[in-house]
Chain A
Amino acid sequence: MSARPIGGPAPAHWPRPLRSARVLVGGGIVLSVLLGAIFAPLLAPYDPNAQDLLNTLVPPVWMEGGNPDFILGTDNLGQDTLSRLIYGARVAMIVAVLAAFGAMLLGTALALVAGYFGGAVDWLISRAVDLWMSFPPVVLSLILIVGFGVGLSNVILAIVLVDWTRFCRVVRSEVLIVRRHDYIDAARLAGFGHLRTLLREVLPAVLPLVITLLSLEMAIALIVEAILSFVGMSVESTIPAWGVMIADARTYMYQTVWGLVLPILAIVVTVIGFNLLGDGLRRTLDPKLLQRETVAA
């Protein structure tokens, strides 16, 4: 008996995501910002906090009155905008990456436990999520910062404590779906304990979703940090951050609108990068979506 297997694609493997335009473009943007942040001291022409009171509110070099010494202009204290943008990327990326990972770890762990075990554990965790989500995230992070005090690590902690719920809720639904499949029971019947079943069978099934959410969460974390630094409740004032640049530039909006536009663009472009990356990953790693797009109705 020589049965021939029916043709069908092997499950999602790593080469596929790289073929998506969104993943490449989004990933490219994110990578550039990341590299800019890492190599800031090499790339930035000036010290971001160096004030030059003779050259305040200089417009960018392409505008009338621009100065080639300051390509993107300066702010009201004469600090070079370009350098501040590059150094601001550091805060942005550190917060985005660390806070997102933290929220992911906490949220996913609780989601796995809640969805897999069900019962009282699920009830407890779901009530905690409900409790947390009773607050608008902006308000909650603000309160947490008021409670903890300003500083980079406090900002990261605050974001983790606010956003784990987002992960938890979404991943939990997915875990519930996976849980219903017989292969989970089959693994238990094969003699695997709960922990091993959870790690070997359930976690890999939700991993694509988690990765997608991670990318989107980085965008959210970045925005929250920008909001906090806009109201002056993020990092110490000696550290340049994009939100702070926006807040400062707002007062001088009529004199030079570029001081406002440039940090806004920085935030928007980076967030677009994370969102494109996340959307691209979702499309390539979700087998259901793939099936639907190949077999037309």
Chain B
Amino acid sequence: MLEARDLVVTADIAEGRAEVLRDISFRLEAGRLMGVVGESGAGKSMIGRLVAGMMPHGFAVTAGSLRFEDEDLVGLPRRRRQAILGKDITFIPQHPQTSLNPVRSIGTLFDEHLKRLGVAGAAARRDRAIAHLEDVHLPDPSGLLRRYPHQLSGGMCQRVLIAMAFAGEPRLIIADEPTTALDVVTQAHIMGVLGEMRARHATAILFITHDLRLAAQICDEIMVMYAGEIVERGPARAVFAEPRHPYTASLELANPTLTGAPRKLLSLPEHMPGLSAYAGLSGCRFAPRCPVADPDCAGHRAALAEVEPGRWVRAAGRCLGADLVGAAATVHAAGGRADAEGDARPLLRVAGLGKTYGGRRGLLGGRRGAVEAVREVGFELRAGEFVGIVGESGSGKTTVARMLMGLETPSAGRIEIEGADVTGPFARNAALRVGAIQMIFQDPQSALNPRRRIGRLVTQPLESGRRPMPWPERLERARALLREAGLPVDVLRRYPSQLSGGQRQRVNIARALSSAPKVLVADEIVSGLDVSVQAQILNLLLRLREESDIALLFISHDLAVVRYLCSRVLVMYRGDVVEAGATEAVFANPRHAYTKTLLAAVPPDDVNVDWNPAGISEV
């Protein structure tokens, strides 16, 4: 059906020519679901772009072929490709809401698509559209046709796109991270819908994702990519249960688990090489980071070999099937001091916190149209404690963080830091706050002023106040902070745009530490990061706790990450705390329906456990 043979894609970059994709060979049979797993920059999306004929400027296929049935997609004439796209080969995109034209109704879009597929007659098209929308379990399909994308949720938009993708009975669907931008529960639901549709239409699907566990659960076969190469390929469950390539193994070990014995995450140093580094890597591209590498590896490149029927691995000799579990075996008690060791006073105490937005004063004194973003939230935080808040978007968790930092004023409730009441806007208690509680923002791109050098950014909190620290002292402090955060000192003189995502996040953390606060508030700080980089950051936080007993309020939608870091957890849903308690207890025995749904929506760690996402209804 779809067969790649020795595919090579080269790009012209400043440093010369780089082989963006190298030695890519695989076979996707009709009706099978193959997962392409890799971190960002591994080249997994490039295959999709190749099929679509949308290669970036300067990128070209220089060897090999990619055959769809009998035709080679490389060098296909534009007309022919246009005839195939949307009909025989369709796509499901990563960002559903922006992938639909905002000024056209769903009905108009569907009508245009069906017309292209050759359905004659407006009435017939309308009926077909309604039928397709019903297939993906969208409520009120005829009403939906009149609606616009901004009126639909992300999950609903994605279902519309899935319906359109399957409408023409395609033979191949390329799904490029279709659930990455969605909430965990929505993701499970979408996976259910996708599974149903696939069973019904027997379409081959190429499923691109960074989530190894998800791919292992739903795919027939998976292909793991690293730095433009396939490092391992084989039946999904087998690859996951017994990875043979060191990278696949480290990827698994870098992923926090929701069940099973807690173990320290394996964090590889640095990050996957970018295009500009490819030229300098003549041998194994994973060697610089590989835990079992030896000096030979840098000069030697293994070929993708079939070590067992159906199992292909790009490894030879020692590294084949190397046991990395030993390296990560240090059992670590998650969350550290879960029991308050006689520390009488909590650093942070929150009671009855609430926030209501908008609304107009009604005639009779009530408020109409008001939105209660947060209701009755309360908890305590002591030195060295890591507490997590989990919830999906709209649960109010970010609002809680902003209120704690004084960026929003609570409508109700009380916030105390070391016994002092700091409820209210930041400015009111600025001096006290700066030294006591700091925030690590989610998006390092937006959180670092692009015009400032790192050296000045990292010590920003020390510049303000009545007695700002003089520059030479700040420079020293900056060096110390960067060391603490695990960054090389020469980063001082650089600008944020010259750092990677993981490095920027470390700078963020370093800045938050600069005023030596006792409490950190971290709002989704690892969401956008690759798994291996995420592991680095999480281990950094654990190390900071060991060294300085810092307390952390960790907000996330990722349950496994929260389990790894936090001893206690609060589960939020639509502004309320629906469940709270010790992390292990809550996750092992959830009481509230929402917590149960959340836990069920996460793909299980054990591949032998059957996961049925279709049973989960969208919340």
Contacts and interface: CB of A to CB of B under 8 A. Distances in A.
Q: Do chains A and B touch in the complex (CB under 8 A)?
A: yes
Interface of A: 1-11, 180-183, 185-194, 196, 201, 204-205, 287, 295-297
A5 to B, nearest CB: 5
Contacts of B511: 186, 190
Contacts of B406: 189
A6 B269 contact: no
Interface string B433-446: 11000110111001
Interface stretch (B471-479, B488-496, B561-569): B488-496
B463 A5 contact: no
Interface in B416-454: 426-427, 430-431, 433-434, 438-439, 441-443, 446-451
B78 to A, nearest CB: 16
A190 B434 contact: yes
Interface of B: 14, 56-58, 269-271, 274, 276, 405-407, 426-427, 430-431, 433-434, 438-439, 441-443, 446-451, 460-461, 463-465, 486-488, 491, 494-495, 497-500, 502-503, 511, 515
A175 to B, nearest CB: 15
A3 B289 CA distance: 11
A188 B446 contact: no
Contacts of B448: 183, 186
Contacts of A287: 450
Contacts of A9: 497-498
Given A11-B450, A191-B431, A296-B58, A3 B271 contact: yes
Contacts of B405: 189
A1 B269 contact: yes
Contacts of B56: 295-297
Contacts of A187: 449, 460
B500 A5 contact: yes
Nearest to A7: B276
Given A186-B441, A190-B460, A2 B488 contact: yes
A185 B515 CA distance: 16
A204 B450 CA distance: 11
Given A9-B497, A190-B461, A182 B57 contact: no
Contact of B443 (A182, A189, A205): A182
Given A5-B498, A295-B57, A183 B276 contact: no
B449 A188 contact: no
Contacts of B58: 296
Nearest to B13: A7
B447 A183 contact: yes
Given A2-B488, A190-B434, A191-B461, 4 more contacts: A3-B487, A185-B407, A295-B57, A296-B56
Contacts of A192: 463-464
A180 B407 CA distance: 13
Nearest to B461: A190
A3 B497 CA distance: 15
Contacts of B57: 295-297
A193 B427 contact: yes
Nearest to B41: A6
Contact of A196 (B269, B449, B464): B464
B270 A1 contact: yes
A188 B427 CA distance: 8
B446 A182 contact: yes
A199 to B, nearest CB: 13
Contact of A6 (B438, B487, B500): B500
20 contacts: A2-B270, A3-B271, A3-B487, A3-B488, A5-B498, A5-B499, A6-B276, A6-B499, A7-B498, A10-B495, A182-B442, A182-B447, A186-B441, A189-B405, A190-B464, A190-B511, A190-B515, A191-B430, A191-B431, A296-B58
Contacts of B271: 3
Contacts of B465: 191
A120 B59 CA distance: 52
A3 B273 CA distance: 11
A185 B450 CA distance: 14
Nearest to B448: A183
Q: Which 10 A-B pairs have the closest CB atoms?
A: A296-B57, A191-B464, A182-B447, A190-B461, A182-B441, A190-B460, A182-B446, A191-B434, A183-B449, A8-B498
A257 to B, nearest CB: 51
A3 B427 CA distance: 37
B570 to A, nearest CB: 23
A201 to B, nearest CB: 6
Contact of B498 (A10, A183, A185, A201): A10
A181 B446 contact: yes
A3 B434 CA distance: 30
Nearest to B447: A182
A201 B449 contact: yes
Nearest to A181: B446
Contact of B270 (A3, A189, A204): A3
Contacts of A3: 269-271, 486-488, 500, 502-503
Given A3-B487, A190-B434, A204 B503 contact: no
Nearest to B434: A191
Contact of A189 (B426, B488, B497, B499): B426
B527 to A, nearest CB: 14
Contacts of A190: 434, 460-461, 463-464, 511, 515
Contacts of A189: 405-407, 426, 433-434, 438-439, 461
Contacts of A2: 270, 488
Considering residues B405, B438, B448, B460, which has the most beta carbons from chain A within 10 angstroms of its beta carbon? B460
Q: Which of A5, A287, A297 has the most CB of B within 10 A?
A: A5
A186 B406 CA distance: 12
A186 B499 contact: no
A10 B453 CA distance: 10
B449 A6 contact: no
